[in-house]
């Protein structure tokens, strides 16, 4: 196993889903063993679960909201070391998926660095449950992710998706966009959330149908939840080999699982 960074610095500018304000993110190469970290007002903030400050409909680090799609792309594309310079208060939502980040990484070039230690291996299950919602990490011979969702809306219903990473994050996970329910939009706006939300950066479900078809996958909502889950799990510096499964979960539950794995030193033997 080798560590990876990117070849050259590259930037993207766009508006934040929740704040509605414009921000510019510049991804820059970082040396071996530096990890993934934000640079905010000249301060370095590691992209780790210890730095997470909020999980209301998104994950926030160092005062920067909605970090999860970018972080998901970095883990999904195997980038171990990168500096994430942020000018603004929220990572741009772009098209609501992680695909623009994957394209930026490919454009910057992915560069191999020094040796990477073998990842830790989870030894016993760790989980968090809230009523019928749960997240669990189970011992498994290889890294695997499963997500389940269940919505009363006919257009979504029950969906399950499992992914065994095989260098196919860019095809199977990254294109899945953020989704929302039309009847939630006004309520969330009134709470000061999704100020930058539009039909350009989220797929919107109105019970029986989608307001802005076509979907990129029949199970795009479930794949997007998995995209978010991967982004939240990337806040563990060395993701243990395990089967990660979430059902009807949220950023809050994802982060609680990451915190437990962190605190228990990955529950390693
Ligand atoms: Zn998301």
Residue with token string 């509605």: 20
Q: How confident is the model at residue 266 (pLDDT cuts 50, 70, 90)?
A: low
How wide is the angle at C-alpha 116 spanned by C-alphas 163 and 169, nearest 5°?
25
Distance in Å, CA 228 to ligand 1 centroid: 5
Q: Where are the domains of the chain?
A: 2-115, 126-267
Residue 68 Cα, ligand 1 centroid: separation in angstroms?
A: 7
The answer to whether the Cα torsion of 131, 129, 243, 147 is positive or negative is: positive
C-alpha of residue 216 to centroid of ligand 1, in Å? 15
> Over the stretch 17-30, which tens digit does the pLDDT of each residue have?
989 999 999 999 99
Catalytic-labelled residue, pool 18, 224, 243, 251: 251
Residue with tokens 């998706």: 161
The answer to whether residue 18 is catalytic is no
Q: Is the pLDDT of residue 269 over 50?
A: no
Q: What is the mean pLDDT of residues 217-228?
A: 98
pLDDT score recorded for residue 58 = 87
* Cα–Cα distance, 244 to 114 (Å, whole number): 28
Ligand 1 centroid vs 231 CA: distance in angstroms?
Answer: 9
Compute the distance from residue 128 Cα to the ligand 1 centre, in Å. Answer: 20
The pTM of this model reads: 0.96
Q: What's the CA gap between 103 and 94, in Å, rounded?
A: 12
User: Is CATH 3.30.230.20 what the domain over 2-115 is classified as, yes or no?
Assistant: yes
Q: How far is CA 203 from CA 19, 69, 99, 217, in A?
A: 18, 15, 15, 12
pLDDT digits (tens, 9 = 90+) for 108-142: 999 999 899 899 999 999 999 999 999 999 999 99
Average pLDDT over residues 249-260: 95
Per-residue pLDDT, 238: 87
Q: Do domains 2-115 and 126-267 have the same CATH topology?
A: no
Instruction: Identify the band that residue 54 occupies on the pLDDT scale cut at 50, 70 and 90.
Output: confident
Indicate the pLDDT class of residue 1, thresholds 50, 70 and 90.
confident
Q: Where are the alpha helices (DSSP H) in the chain?
A: 68-76, 99-108, 169-172, 182-190, 220-233, 251-263
Beta strands in 56-164 (DSSP E): 60-61, 82-87, 110-115, 126-130, 133-138, 144-150, 158-163
Does residue 22 contact residue 15 with C-beta atoms inside 8 Å?
Answer: yes
Architecture of domain 126-267 in this structure: 2-Layer Sandwich (3.30)
Give how far Cα 209 sits from Cα of 61, 155, 206, Å: 35, 5, 5
Per-residue pLDDT tens digits for 141-155: 999 999 999 999 999
* CA 34 to centroid of ligand 1, rounded, Å: 26
16 pLDDT higher than 60 = yes
């Amino acid at each position: 196993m080798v560590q990876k960074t990117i070849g050259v610095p590259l930037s993207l500018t766009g508006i934040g889903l929740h704040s509605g304000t414009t921000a510019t993110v510049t991804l820059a190469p970082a040396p071996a063993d530096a990890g993934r970290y934000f640079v905010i007002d000249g301060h370095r903030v590691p992209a780790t679960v210890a730095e997470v400050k909020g999980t209301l409909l998104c994950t926030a680090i160092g005062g920067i909201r909605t970090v999860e799609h970018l972080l998901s792309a970095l883990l999904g594309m195997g980038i171990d070391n990168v500096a994430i310079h942020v000018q603004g208060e929220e990572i741009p939502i772009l098209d609501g998926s992680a695909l623009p980040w994957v394209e930026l990484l490919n454009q910057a070039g992915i560069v191999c660095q020094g040796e990477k230690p073998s990842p830790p291996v989870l030894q016993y299950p760790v989980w968090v449950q809230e009523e019928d919602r749960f997240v669990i990490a189970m011992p498994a011979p290889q890294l695997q992710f499963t997500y389940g969702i269940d919505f009363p809306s006919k257009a979504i219903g029950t969906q399950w998706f499992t992914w065994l990473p095989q260098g196919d994050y860019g095809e199977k996970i990254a294109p899945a966009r953020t989704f929302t329910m039309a009847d939630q939009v006004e309520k969330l706006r009134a709470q000061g959330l999704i100020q930058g939300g539009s039909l350009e950066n989220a797929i919107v479900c109105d019970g029986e149908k989608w307001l802005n078809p076509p979907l990129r996958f029949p199970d795009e909502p479930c794949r997007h939840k998995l995209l978010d889950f991967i982004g939240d799990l990337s806040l563990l510096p060395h993701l243990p080999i395990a089967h990660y499964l979430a059902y009807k979960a949220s950023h809050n539950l994802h982060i609680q699982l990451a915190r437990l794995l962190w605190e228990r030193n990955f529950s390693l033997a």
